[in-house]
Structure 1
């Protein structure tokens, strides 16, 4: 008789990355450097935006929240992965695993909404510059960010509540370096048809709507740039859009492969590669693509450095 609504598993075993023992130190050093760069780079962005009044604009308001989300997303998974690379026992408690999954889903979804909000901000700035101040009011920006947090929390809570109703009475080995939703569903001995349905409907809706908003915004930006008489402005617009679309492609491409095109019966190293891209690589690239190439951020950094030198 199958016991419903109760798990017989008290901990999960994270298999981690498929790394040979002789390569563990190399990968540990590499991922540690990437994680520290992610945290420091995004913290620097948040600090500069807070300190420089010239950066108190809608674009940088969204960027500061994206930077915080990226720090959180990496911090949920990477430190545990680094510990497991060096440790012999790769276990994580049942409650710890569920908590990690909840916050992971929350911040992945939050990134999703913030990227859409940033794309809309760029659309208004480039396509309707005369109305930018009236459209991108402070109230609208706060509502967009607050709505992003709210729907992300609800989305994560929904999938978490559905998951804890399942029983895990067979293997407790997770073929990944963190507690991923699809990996946990593969381990359940309960009926997961409702979970899969919610992933493809509710999850698909929250995936498609922001992505459609992003693509629509950049298409309209491209049409406006093509009409621009200035070649310099044309090149600058497409350079910015190209960088943003690179992050969007990495982010949405790996998520689609992981949650919508991945088999629920079989796991492979491809899932782990996709997980590394959107938990390690994308948060690492965001500071460089969205801000460190930006003249406003560089100018703010120079001002802060100058002030620090004056106090010495």
Structure 2
């Protein structure tokens, strides 16, 4: 390749300017590439030889190696134009898209790849801790006997505790709650100790005084049979109990009765669990038992 060049010293002994042009159409030199800076010792007039020219061209090529190839320059120019075009498109996009939509899109993109978390709603608590709710036209009830010395009996009606340790009206023996069927309101509640004292007759009077149209809930804690007299058993049996005559020492027993009307046959009304030294859950005490369900409000 043939080069036509001229050199001018620009004021120092170390750095000079070189202007290079081409005399060949095969190897054109871009005007922007024609100026370079080289050490002045290369421009010593006494070294205007072929070796000198070679040194200048070699230094020029080392400063601008990419300028030898026009295709490389075209590629770089294309890359710069593409980058500028991409920036301009981004600017136009940002200027016309609402800020709220853009923020939402960015937040959505940031969430991509995150592990999805299933958030199941917490189950709604039902009346008296039922698994499924009673229909609007019925009462919910749950009767739980005592279990051991620490777990006392409970009677729940329409999500209200009628007898419980929290209310302070539960005790050893037979616990009874009387509810007005039409209103669902508690009429009275009491417990009758069947281990100490003579409270069987008191229990008989309590049941007989229950008004017609009443629901009666009965449940034992500890022992409910030692001092329970036969007339009391017959009275409870007349209300529909099939297990009162089978009561034994510390038998767990629950029972529901209606006075003045009849309960549906499909309602669980009674359950008993006798004390058994080989099967007892607690030391000398059988496991607690319970019954629960829904009583229709249109029985009267």
Q: After TM superposition, is the score higher than 0.5?
A: no
Q: TM-score, normalised by structure 1?
A: 0.16
| TM-score (norm: length of structure 2) | 0.16
Structure with more of its chain in strand, by fraction: 2
Bigger Rg over Cα: 2
Structure with the bigger percentage of helix: 1
